[in-house]
Amino acid sequence: MPEEEPPSAFTPTRRTVLKAGAAATAIPLWPREASADSTVPMSLRVNGKVYEQVLEPRVTLLDALRERIGLTGTKKGCDRGECGACTVHVDGRRIKSCLTLAVMQQNREITTVEGLAGGELHPVQAAFLRRDGFQCGFCTPGQVMSAVACVAEGHAGSDDEIREWMSGNLCRCGCYPNIVAAVRDAAEELS
Amino acid sequence: MDSFTYTRPDRPADAVALGTAPGSRYIAGGTDLLNLMKDGVQRHDRLVDINSLPLNDVRVSDQLVRLGSLNRMSDVAAHREVVRRLPALAQALLASASPQVRNMASLGGNLLQRTRCWYFRDATMPCNKREPGSGCAALDGMNRWHAVLGGSDHCIAVHPSDLAVALTALDATVRVLGADGPRAIPVAEFYPLPGDTPHVESALRPGELITGVDVPVTELAGTSRYLKVRDRATFEFAVVSVAAAVRVSGDVVREARLVFGGVAPRPWRSHEAERELVGRPLDDQAISAAVTALVRDAVPREHNAFKVPLLQRATTDVLRRFRRTR
């Protein structure tokens, strides 16, 4: 996916010029409709804190978190919902933040990996450390967010069940045995 | 992703008015639409976010399970009455996508997800579905994942939804709302075959919005099962899938439903195979006759001929399980 340029970094390119041309024939707007060639004010509640943002409607939740709010713990792997590196919680449910628009997630409670630990590591994070559930670490924030939900949903009753319910998170280093062990540990500790 | 306008109406009538305007598209979960837009396969001037519409209901009676179209896949799969009365529906949903995507994706969006034919999804390739008249790269290309039944010389893409296969086996009906009001479309009539118009993918009229799915509660539905065969254990589309329901009494099959995924441009019901089962004991002879009838019209291509025996073996396996549990 081409990078979404923030308005402050705007430099005309062939693409943006073509887009501006297209905007001349813009469709009539519905009342309160956010127009295509402008940004929309929106308020995103992340880890208990409200962030007032002004974004284009096409900005994904993932890009809003990383590039605008500056919470870079959530990772962009495939940007197509296949790898799970961008997993966050919305109203307590795990989702892939690359597959939803920021504008769609207003007034929801968004939790990223930065919001997981209180004074000390979350038991799932501690279990990943103890079990060495990673190598390069790129998929780990998504794995951890998914694992927290997996345990809370009651889907960590056996190794097979953990493998099935963690299947939306890929690890190209292949640390799966240790990831499964970490989730199993955390599930026992949290039960 | 090209830019678009965004609006989030509260009332179904407003949504339909917006959705009927040229250039508009509904968004619910967004799990397929945003990928298609990122890849330049689809471009829309306006997204109409339908998540504020009151389409989240689940109503269960002794005759019918009524599901609002905004119900998420994970919630329907976990619903006690769905698990009990419509097992194939719950099993098909749980066999789909990943836990995160199931938390996001809606029932209506699942039914309208587009094919995973990679020629369709690559905007630089010819595709009669994406660009009518441009040709089909799959016919003589990498067609391992493509249709062996119901395809045409213009398109052999398969429909990717497990949900649609289960709903076809369960005789479900899709409820829609359009500018002319509501109507109901049987799932069995929802997906046209490609013929020479593969870009026409559903019975929806322009701007019509799926508002729900109705599934009859029957003794047959209570027996239903879903088997999905994939290239890996999970989080993958079907190579072949089978939704089956068989009602047996007095050692004789009284009613049977056999619907298949991964093999055709739409959920593929085989009346021919069902007829071989009804009125006979569910023995190996009957099963063999059914799976022979099932693939009689199959048209395999260079890389997907394996689907024909695989479909037969998967179906045999599912049917034998009905025998064991009787």
| pLDDT, tens digit (0-9, with 9 covering 90-100), for B277-303 | 999 999 999 999 999 999 999 999 999
From the list A35, A56, A81, the residue facing B31 with the nearest CB is A81
CA distance A83 to A71: 19
Q: What pLDDT is attached to residue A93?
A: 98
Question: Which residues of chain B does A98 touch, with a Cβ-Cβ cutoff of 8 Å?
Answer: 34
* Sequence-ordered list of residues with C-beta below 8 angstroms from that of A160, at least 6 positions apart, any chain: none
Q: What would the pLDDT profile of A130-181 be if each residue is shown by its tens digit?
A: 999 999 999 999 999 999 999 999 999 999 999 999 999 999 999 999 999 9
Q: Give alpha helix (H) positions in B147-229.
A: 162-169, 219-222
CB contact under 8 A, B5 and A29: yes
ipTM score assigned to the predicted complex: 0.96
CA-closest candidate to residue B212, choices B100, B106, B114, B115 = B106
CB contact under 8 A, A81 and B4: no
Tally of structural domains, chain A: 2
Q: Write out the residue range of the structural domain in which residue A109 sits.
A: 37-115
User: What CATH number should be reported for the domain holding residue A61?
Assistant: 3.10.20.30
Q: What pLDDT is attached to residue A3?
A: 46
CA distance B142 to B137: 8
B212 in contact with chain A, both atoms CB, cutoff 8 A: no
* Domain boundary, last residue among A115, A137, A152: A115
From the list A35, A100, A165, the residue facing B99 with the nearest CB is A165
With bands split at pLDDT 50, 70 and 90, how would you rate the model's confidence at A12? Answer: very low
Residue with tokens 């340029």: A5
Same domain as A165, residue A133: yes
Q: What would the pLDDT profile of A87-112 be if each residue is shown by its tens digit?
A: 999 999 999 999 999 999 999 999 99
Specify if A150 maps to a domain.
yes
CATH fold for the domain made of B5-52: 3.30.43
Same domain as A103, residue A52: yes
Same domain as A50, residue A109: yes
| B47 bridge partner residues | B6, B25
CA distance A140 to chain B (A): 16
With bands split at pLDDT 50, 70 and 90, how would you rate the model's confidence at B324? Answer: low
Question: Which residues of chain B does A57 touch, with a Cβ-Cβ cutoff of 8 Å?
Answer: 3-6, 47
CA of residue A87 relative to chain centroid, distance: 4
DSSP B128-167: TTTSTTS-BSSTTS--TTS-SSS--SS--PPP--HHHHHH
* Domain boundary, last residue among A86, A115, A144: A115
3-class SS at A22?
helix
At B64, which amino acid appears? Answer: L
Virtual torsion, Cα B132, B203, B179, B214, nearest 10 deg: -150
DSSP code at position A71? -
CA distance B261 to B158: 8
| B259 bridge partner residues | B243, B269
Specify if A46 maps to a domain.
yes
CA distance B93 to B69: 14
- Tell me how many helices (H) and strands (E) chain B has: 13, 12
CA distance A41 to A103: 9
| B246 bridge partner residues | B256
CB neighbourhood size of A14 (10 A)? 7
In CATH, the number for domain B223-324 is: 3.30.390.50
Q: Measured in Å, how far apart are chain A's first and last C-alpha atoms?
A: 41
Considering chain B, tell me which residue range(s) the CATH 3.30.43.10 domain(s) occupy: 5-52
Mean pLDDT of B36-50: 97
Please report, rounded to a whole number, the percentage of residues in chain A having pLDDT higher than 70.
82
Question: Which residues of chain B does A29 touch, with a Cβ-Cβ cutoff of 8 Å?
Answer: 5
* Domain boundary, last residue among A68, A85, A115: A115
Q: What pLDDT is attached to residue B157?
A: 98
CB neighbourhood size of B179 (10 A)? 13
With bands split at pLDDT 50, 70 and 90, how would you rate the model's confidence at B54? Answer: very high
